[in-house]
Amino acid sequence: MHPAASAQTESKLAARHVRYVFEPNLAIHQIRDVEGNQVRLSEHRAPKAMVDRYAEQMRAGAIFPAIVVSDRFEIVDGNSRWMACRRNKSETIAAYICSDISALQARSLSVELNQTHGLSMTDEEIRAFVTGAVDEGQVLDTKAYSRMTGVKASRLARWVAAEHFALRAARDGLATEQLKDLADSARAALNVAKLETVFVQATTLAMDARVPAAHLRRIITEANAAPSEAEAIEVVTRARAARSEDIKAIASGFKSTPRKSKGSALHISGLLRFEVDDLLDVSPNKQAEMFTRMSRLRGLLDGALTQARVDWNLDDFPSTEQLDSPQSRDLTHVR
């Protein structure tokens, strides 16, 4: 076995069903650096300090693992080793020459090999690869790439969802500049929206009111569960109405003031979608607990309604008894 041959590299190529040949003396001048084949950012390829160290070790007789190139002699992995050979004015280098691999397959291979040779990739480089894969319509196995890169699968999945969100937003005509402040977690939450109208309106709400990802997830979950598009849109409309003061403050250049009622408003909106029979559909072993909770909830709501009559300007608003009537239930749902 040639001293530059790498069992580790060969096992990775074999696992990907990549056809290759080992060339112990590939001419240095044939190798090309083509943008798009490597996952590492250009400024991070072949760091000078590493090239200097490799070149010195090579002059002392050290044998390094073979680099990896495509059958067009475009480098996939081994920039520092290649540059060190050039520094030493070497004419050849050992290389694995891979056949019939696309630019995306080359970048994918580069991800795995870069984590075992030289410096590990930065999060920025890994994310750039993820973005490119999504843009090309590929489905990323986040668990597999988590093992390769050391980045948590959940984080990779969030990056994938964020890029799908960006593509979807672009298709729906949402301005990229307006979306720049949305966190990845918020983008991932919004991307789950089933209806495009809900997606657009919820995204606009997220930008206008700077809605946290946790709240967006609740809004989207409720909208997705709605029996009709009109009711799904109404979920977002109610969420916007509940944040009207925040939206005005943010539009005026002020930070929104957190209100304790934000979370409860979402839960109340959810409860209003249920009928009495729905609330009573409880397994026998949970009925006592459910009764206690509903009793406590009724006490809280009775107290809140009584205080609201005193503190809020509700002179022209229907009484509690009128709101309880079947004819006015649609009004309570809208509010």
pLDDT higher for 164 or 264?
Answer: 164
Is residue 334 scored above 50 in pLDDT? no
What is the span of the domain harbouring residue 106?
7-119
Encode pLDDT of 96-149 as tens digits: 999 999 888 888 888 888 776 656 677 888 888 888 888 888 888 888 888 877
Please tell me whether residues 79 and 36 are part of one structural domain: yes
The predicted model gives 77-102 an average pLDDT of 93
Show which of 255, 273, 291 is a domain's final residue: 273
Instruction: Tell me the two tokens of residue 329.
Output: 């239930």
The pTM of the full predicted model, rounded to 2 decimals, is: 0.58
Residue 143 lies in a domain: no
- Which of 3, 33, 9, 38 shows the shortest CA–CA distance to 21? 9
Is residue 260 scored above 50 in pLDDT? yes
Q: At a CB cut-off of 8 Å and minimum separation 6, what does 318 contact?
A: 328, 331
Please tell me whether residues 188 and 265 are part of one structural domain: yes
Please tell me whether residues 223 and 299 are part of one structural domain: no
Residue 137 lies in a domain: no
Q: At a CB cut-off of 8 Å and minimum separation 6, what does 108 contact?
A: 16, 39, 129, 133
Encode pLDDT of 159-212 as tens digits: 999 999 999 999 999 887 878 889 999 999 999 999 999 999 999 999 998 899
Please tell me whether residues 234 and 189 are part of one structural domain: yes
Encode pLDDT of 16-64 as tens digits: 899 999 999 999 999 998 876 666 656 556 778 889 989 999 999 999 9
Show which of 273, 297, 323 is a domain's final residue: 273
Is residue 313 scored above 50 in pLDDT? yes
* Residue 19's CATH number: 3.90.1530.10
Number of structural domains (the chain) is 3
In this prediction, residue 317 carries a pLDDT of 64
Distance from C-alpha of 222 to C-alpha of 180, rounded to nearest angstrom: 26
Q: How many residues does this entry show for the chain? A: 335
Residue 192's Cα: distance from chain center in Å?
Answer: 11
Please tell me whether residues 261 and 287 are part of one structural domain: no
Is residue 66 scored above 80 in pLDDT? yes
